[in-house]
Chains A and B, each alone.
Chain A
Amino acid sequence: MVNLKINDQNVSVPKGTTVLEAAKKMNINIPTLCNHDDLCVAGNCRVCVVEQTGARTLIAACAMPVSEGMDIHTNTLKVRNARKHIVELLLSEHRSDCTKCYKNQKCELQALANEFAFGDTIFLDLVEDHHYTIDRSSPSFIKDDSKCIRCQRCVRTCSELQYISAISVSNKGAHQKISSFSNKPMSHVVCTNCGQCVNRCPTGALVEKTYIDQVWDAIYDPDKHVVVQTAPAVRVALGEDLGYDPGERVTGKMVNALRQLGFNSVLDTDFTADLTIMEEGTELLVRLKKALVDGDKNVSLPMFTSCSPGWIKFIEHKYPEFLPNLSTCKSPQQMFGALAKTFYAKRRNIDPSKIVSVSVMPCTAKKFEADRPEMRSSGFKDVDFVLTTRELAIMIKQAGIDFRNIEVAKYDSVMGDSTGAAVIFGATGGVMEAALRTAYEIVTGHEVPFGNLNITPVRGMDGVKEATIKIAGCVDDWKFLEGAELKVAIAHGLVNANKIMKLVKAGKAPYHFVEVMACPGGCIGGGGQPIPTNMQIRKNRMAAIYSEDEHMVLRKSHENPDVIAIYKEFLENPNSHKSHELLHTHYVERENY
């Protein structure tokens, strides 16, 4: 243990603790900006400078490890003056159109300005000296360099969490900025649109591209029938933007609020998550049969999940040779979109050209996914607009809905039913668990051999998880799998996905089935989720997801009555011709820069 003094109080902390962490332990708040719980220490912004007795300069609390006998003061005149200067300097290079900014009142620089830099501006405006451009090329997010304060959180996110480095710091001095490769538009580079940078940007330099106005226009258009689907992870996080603590489930209130916003039908992505399990589970079993029984050497194994559009784009850019390993299943969002303008339109007797299909997602990459040219199998754009969890919260506020006090409500029928298996899609390992619950039962006729259906080995926050399921007691059709060991792996965060891909590429991956979610923690930690995020918040959301699952009556996808019905009435069988037409897709190779 190391003994030191902060603001004249003694404290003992383990070696390696930073001054910032030690202060936090004592409930002494030191302001920070470039610091982020999920990322490595940068020590760039200097907002956290404090005074160390005897030191020639101030020190950055975030980057300074404690040492024995240290004497720290966090609030001296010297410190306050320096902090004020630093915040003023940041403001001078930041386009402060705060009242019009998408991040107004959610901006960390604004909060610091509120504390340290109110009143007359000291320094000259530098924004005009830089010829900034705003990059709107991505359908998912906007990069506005005039609001960037070079904290490099985005750069660290893209490299440390996502192993992509689609953006990097470029140039130096006054010209230093955050750039894509050769300043190409973000839509033309290796960016997966995962939005993790958006989630960590302290200002309005990186924000999602919003489609709120377009959705309102559709809602108010009497000619349009607007359906909305909500992804599983939205219901466990939306509350955070509406005054609830992380991890509070607000499913029923959310459904009611959506209805009050004026959507004609409030439906659930969970329905197509269940459908995904039927399609993807079948696809896996077919691939296994081809490989094991037919001896087909061309079968691509391991099979990868395909629900996460960030992951899809990652593999398209970085490992295109493994595109055949991806399940051909569309993501639940896109299955829903395709069915909304076909099956749903038919059932409700609505002209599909009049249907506007909106989805609420924890994700910015879903905006890109909905825009993919492949996603028009209904004959229309299958999903017209994608909103993030954050955008939905804004709409609820715009509509003046008293979220805390509204009644809970249930999803509409026809594509509104779901199971616990679908809900857990929102957490890392969830798709795997849902798939195993169903596939195991198809193959053996009985439930997976885990207590209360909870397949705990695939759960949790480890970056890469592995499990082996021994298959026993197969029904006749699947006898060839008797005694086989199904090896699976799960990765979340693309840096972990890359670890698995390296094994796969080296031919050292023993897996049959791999689940990958682009974002840390899975969709609950998605780029479209409420800000801030950190490990504790993600854990709370994850706990809420599993609690939602436990509270469901049905917890296996193949038992979803809507799913059973849609096969009977419309799709015939999993992987049928019709399914392939509407629910499956293909992928494209992309440049690796």
Chain B
Amino acid sequence: MYQVGNLVKELSDKHGRQRDSLMPILQGIVEKHNYLTDEAMVEVAKELDISAAEVYGTASFYTFLDTQARGKYVIRICKTITCSMKGKIEIIQTLEDMLKIKVGETTADNNFSLIETNCIGWCHKAPAMLINEIPYTELTPEKVVDIIEGYMLK
């Protein structure tokens, strides 16, 4: 859990308080905190004068607007056909072993969340994953270890 503080107000000042400001505001919160808390969604609803259920309904439509708690680094492994054919399972096993969590979970230190996602547009360089917004492609178990170690040192 994080304190949303003035973030929603700042984002609303930046993007406006119309309905079409909703997506950029939610994206702005997720960019900073990786997921949306109830408190954050209620704040957004208040700023935009729309119902909180609609904020939740809209957010939950979009895979990247997580309403579940996520860690600092959200690892999204592509599970669509080419990545699946080209070794997605080994990549997931490597990540699960390294982070000591299963797909769908977050590490105890809240640093990493591991989830699967649909096609991220790197089929020619499969398997691929995103860590937050950064793509990593042509993954091998060895490469994944290096990448994650890099994040662990951050």
Q: Is A in direct contact with B (CB under 8 Å) within the complex?
A: yes
The residues of A with any CB-CB pair to B shorter than 8 Å are 159, 164-172, 179-182, 189-190, 591-593
Q: A166 touching B57 by the CB < 8 A rule?
A: no
Q: How far is the CB of B8 from chain A (nearest CB, A)?
A: 14
Question: Which of the 9-residue segments B38-46, B87-95, B133-141 touches chain A?
Answer: B38-46
Contact string, B31-64, partner A, CB cutoff 8 A, digits 1/0? 0000000100110011000111111111011000
Q: How far is the CB of A184 from chain B (nearest CB, A)?
A: 8
Q: A179 touching B51 by the CB < 8 A rule?
A: no
Q: B46 touching A168 by the CB < 8 A rule?
A: no
Asked if B84 is an interface residue, CB under 8 A from chain A, the answer is no
In the complex, the 5 A-B pairs of residues with the closest C-beta atoms, listed nearest first: A168-B57, A165-B51, A593-B52, A168-B53, A181-B52
Interface CB pairs A-B, < 8 A, 18: A159-B51, A165-B51, A168-B51, A168-B57, A170-B56, A170-B57, A172-B60, A179-B56, A179-B57, A179-B60, A181-B41, A181-B52, A181-B53, A591-B42, A592-B45, A592-B52, A593-B51, A593-B52
In-complex Cβ contact of B46 among A170, A171, A592 (8 A): A592
Asked if B132 is an interface residue, CB under 8 A from chain A, the answer is no
Interface residues on B, range: 10 to 19
In-complex Cβ contact of A171 among B38, B45, B51, B61 (8 A): B61
Please indicate the chain A residues that have their CB under 8 angstroms from the CB of B41 in the complex. Answer: 181-182
Q: Which residue of B lies closest to A178 (CB)?
A: B57
Please indicate the chain A residues that have their CB under 8 angstroms from the CB of B67 in the complex. Answer: 182
Q: B53 touching A189 by the CB < 8 A rule?
A: yes
Q: B54 touching A168 by the CB < 8 A rule?
A: yes
Please indicate the chain B residues that have their CB under 8 angstroms from the CB of A180 in the complex. Answer: 53
Q: Which residue of A lies closest to B46 (CB)?
A: A592
In the bound complex, what is the Cα–Cα distance between A593 and B38 (angstroms)? 10
Known: A190-B52, A592-B46, A593-B45. A172 touches B61 (CB 8 A): yes
Contact string, B136-152, partner A, CB cutoff 8 A, digits 1/0? 00000000000000000
Q: B51 touching A190 by the CB < 8 A rule?
A: yes
In the bound complex, what is the Cα–Cα distance between A182 and B38 (angstroms)? 7
The residues of B with any CB-CB pair to A shorter than 8 Å are 38, 41-42, 45-46, 50-58, 60-61, 67
Q: How far is the CB of B86 from chain A (nearest CB, A)?
A: 25
Please indicate the chain B residues that have their CB under 8 angstroms from the CB of A189 in the complex. Answer: 52-53
Please indicate the chain B residues that have their CB under 8 angstroms from the CB of A190 in the complex. Answer: 51-53
In the bound complex, what is the Cα–Cα distance between A179 and B56 (angstroms)? 9
In the bound complex, what is the Cα–Cα distance between A593 and B50 (angstroms)? 10
Q: How far is the CB of B44 from chain A (nearest CB, A)?
A: 11
Please indicate the chain B residues that have their CB under 8 angstroms from the CB of A164 in the complex. Answer: 51
In the bound complex, what is the Cα–Cα distance between A258 and B135 (angstroms)? 71
In-complex Cβ contact of A593 among B42, B57, B60, B61 (8 A): B42
Please indicate the chain A residues that have their CB under 8 angstroms from the CB of B46 in the complex. Answer: 592
Please indicate the chain B residues that have their CB under 8 angstroms from the CB of A166 in the complex. Answer: 51, 53
In-complex Cβ contact of A167 among B38, B45, B53, B58 (8 A): B53
Known: A182-B41, A182-B67, A592-B46. A171 touches B60 (CB 8 A): yes
Please indicate the chain B residues that have their CB under 8 angstroms from the CB of A172 in the complex. Answer: 60-61
In the bound complex, what is the Cα–Cα distance between A168 and B61 (angstroms)? 11
In the bound complex, what is the Cα–Cα distance between A543 and B72 (angstroms)? 63
Q: A165 touching B61 by the CB < 8 A rule?
A: no
Q: How far is the CB of A386 from chain B (nearest CB, A)?
A: 26
In the bound complex, what is the Cα–Cα distance between A57 and B152 (angstroms)? 53
Q: B45 touching A170 by the CB < 8 A rule?
A: no
Please indicate the chain A residues that have their CB under 8 angstroms from the CB of B53 in the complex. Answer: 165-168, 179-181, 189-190, 593
Q: How far is the CB of A310 from chain B (nearest CB, A)?
A: 16
In the bound complex, what is the Cα–Cα distance between A295 and B57 (angstroms)? 48
Q: B60 touching A170 by the CB < 8 A rule?
A: yes
In the bound complex, what is the Cα–Cα distance between A543 and B52 (angstroms)? 38
Q: A181 touching B61 by the CB < 8 A rule?
A: no
Q: How far is the CB of A128 from chain B (nearest CB, A)?
A: 21
In the bound complex, what is the Cα–Cα distance between A181 and B58 (angstroms)? 11
Q: How far is the CB of B148 from chain A (nearest CB, A)?
A: 29
Q: B57 touching A169 by the CB < 8 A rule?
A: yes
In the bound complex, what is the Cα–Cα distance between A167 and B53 (angstroms)? 6
Please indicate the chain B residues that have their CB under 8 angstroms from the CB of A169 in the complex. Answer: 57
In the bound complex, what is the Cα–Cα distance between A216 and B38 (angstroms)? 42
Q: Which residue of A lies closest to B61 (CB)?
A: A172
7 new A-B contacts at CB < 8 Å, known A165-B51, A181-B55, A593-B52: A168-B51, A179-B57, A181-B42, A182-B41, A591-B42, A592-B52, A593-B51
Q: How far is the CB of B79 from chain A (nearest CB, A)?
A: 14
Please indicate the chain B residues that have their CB under 8 angstroms from the CB of A182 in the complex. Answer: 38, 41, 52, 56, 67
In the bound complex, what is the Cα–Cα distance between A181 and B45 (angstroms)? 11
In the bound complex, what is the Cα–Cα distance between A356 and B58 (angstroms)? 46
Please indicate the chain A residues that have their CB under 8 angstroms from the CB of B56 in the complex. Answer: 168, 170, 179, 181-182
In the bound complex, what is the Cα–Cα distance between A169 and B41 (angstroms)? 15
In the bound complex, what is the Cα–Cα distance between A170 and B59 (angstroms)? 8
In the bound complex, what is the Cα–Cα distance between A167 and B41 (angstroms)? 15
In the bound complex, what is the Cα–Cα distance between A159 and B51 (angstroms)? 9
In the bound complex, what is the Cα–Cα distance between A4 and B100 (angstroms)? 66
Most buried by B among A170, A172, A179, A189: A170
In the bound complex, what is the Cα–Cα distance between A165 and B52 (angstroms)? 8
Please indicate the chain A residues that have their CB under 8 angstroms from the CB of B52 in the complex. Answer: 181-182, 189-190, 592-593
Q: Which residue of A lies closest to B63 (CB)?
A: A172
In the bound complex, what is the Cα–Cα distance between A180 and B51 (angstroms)? 10
Q: How far is the CB of A168 from chain B (nearest CB, A)?
A: 3
Q: Which residue of B lies closest to A168 (CB)?
A: B57
Please indicate the chain A residues that have their CB under 8 angstroms from the CB of B54 in the complex. Answer: 159, 165, 168
Q: Which residue of B lies closest to A180 (CB)?
A: B53
Please indicate the chain A residues that have their CB under 8 angstroms from the CB of B38 in the complex. Answer: 181-182
Q: Which residue of A lies closest to B52 (CB)?
A: A593
In the bound complex, what is the Cα–Cα distance between A172 and B54 (angstroms)? 14
